[in-house]
Structure 1
């Protein structure tokens, strides 16, 4: 693998967030010698198909980049990475880390339907993230060298979905407050690790940042 100093890491934030939600990861990557580029998008303005189209346009501008291009995506950002790379792959694709990805959809979408104001607040893309989503089902297997970080901390007072899952419905299935643990898995991923962290603030957790760096460096998580 090319030294970190020659590699670019593209960071993709999640639903309702901004690139600032990934600033701790971005800082750690910079200190490790990587170049970084944070992709900003209006996550609550469009459906998943349109967001993926916009991301593919962004990817088309990366073909001149030297060295491997790695990707780190959180939640919806992880899905955009998967959807984008199906049609526009960088010339030298590196490693991919997906943080709390709803790869198989999340049941909270159906539960949120009982709270229309929350659905409205989250925007049209959330409707494409349910377990029966045809868009998610149509995504191909994970690209080579994909690592997945899942969370198991069920509740955070600043995460609306965790109120729905953990307080209102008290679902028994293991989850990170928003996405079920089983939903994050992909059979073709190179590695998978579950950490005691919640969904929304996962990217700022030191244990998560350490695992991101480990996977980009070695192609596997630390244990």
Structure 2
């Protein structure tokens, strides 16, 4: 049975943004499942409990002619990485723990929060347009990603970007992808591996090199740095 891979898009995006990755994962022998979730209408906790946990639990339980999955992998963009990190750590009620060997590739996750979220979460119309998760992704110590601590419960690799197509450069003190800094993406301890590649935040999931590195990590637990 091919290992299932749940793909979670970023804040304000849809599952369509993850389709190129899903097609590549299918060609590589995985069983991709694109999760089109209401990123603009729910908190991180609700996304864990209502969206992610039921899907993972169903894959691990099997049934309806399916064998139980031996492990479950994830590929995430931006907010999706924080949701999976919270789930894997058992921060919220999730049901079954992830089996050993479950892996996640997180693309441009705001693991240390986002300076852009700091700037936008109190400015109209952004809170109403982007929803409650925007207010949870700041760089302050009480933000959801900073309160989670080290990555645990899953083998996680992070790919950060350095493309800067969005007009927020003045908010960052170091390299960034337009919305998330490299330092934030690589912030938590417990990562199995981390690399930096050129794409911007909004296009990182479509990069052929990002896709290649994603497949490599899911297979081996390490990126290809050769």
Query: Do these two structures clear the TM 0.5 threshold for a shared fold by scoring above it?
Result: yes
Match of 1:52 among 45, 48, 54: 48
Q: Which residue of 2 aligns with 1:145?
A: 155
- Structure 1 unaligned segments of length 5 or more: list them: 156-161
Partner deviation per Cα, 1:118-163 (whole Å, 9 max, x = no partner): 33221111100001144223324223421100001111xxxxxx22
- Name the structure 2 match of 1:159: none
Task: Give me the whole-angstrom Cα distance separating, in 1, the residues matched to 2:171 and 2:70.
Answer: 47
**Structure 1 position 100 matched with structure 2 position 96:** no
Bigger proportion of residues as helix: 1
> How far apart are the structure 1 equivalents of 2:191 and 2:213?
15
* Alignment check: 8 A CA contact 2:172 2:181 kept: no
Range with greater deviation from structure 2 (117-126 or 71-80): 117-126
Instruction: Describe the superposition over 1:69-105 as per-residue Cα deviations: whole angstroms up to 9, x where unpaired.
Output: 1111110011111111223323455211111010010
Q: How many residues align?
A: 210
Q: TM-score, normalised by structure 2?
A: 0.86
**Is the 1:62–1:90 Cα contact (8 Å) retained in structure 2?**
no
Two-structure CA RMSD over aligned residues (Å): 1.8
**Which structure 2 residues correspond to residues 4-19 of structure 1 after superposition, within 5 A?**
6-19=2-15
TM-superposed CA distance for 1:35, in Å, is: 0.7
Partner secondary structure for residue 66 of structure 1: coil
Q: Contact (CA 8 Å) 1:6, 1:67: kept in 2 or not?
A: no
Is the alpha carbon distance of 1:124 and 1:216 closer, same or farther for their aligned partners in structure 2, counting shifts above 3 Å?
same
TM-score (norm 1): 0.87
Tell me if the contact between 2:17 and 2:205 (Cα under 8 Å) persists in the aligned partners: yes
What SS does the aligned partner of 1:96 have?
strand
In the other structure, the counterpart of 1:120 is 128
Stretches of structure 2 lacking an aligned partner (at least 5 in a row): 62-67
Q: Does 1:196 align with 2:198?
A: yes
Find the counterpart in structure 2 of residue 30 from structure 1.
26
| Corresponding residue to 1:78 among 60, 77, 81 | 81
1:114/1:10 CA distance change after superposition, 3 Å: closer
- Cα 1:61–1:120 change in 2 (3 A) is same
Contact 1:73 1:99 in 2 (8 A): yes
Instruction: Identify which range, 124-133 or 134-143, moves more after superposition.
Output: 134-143
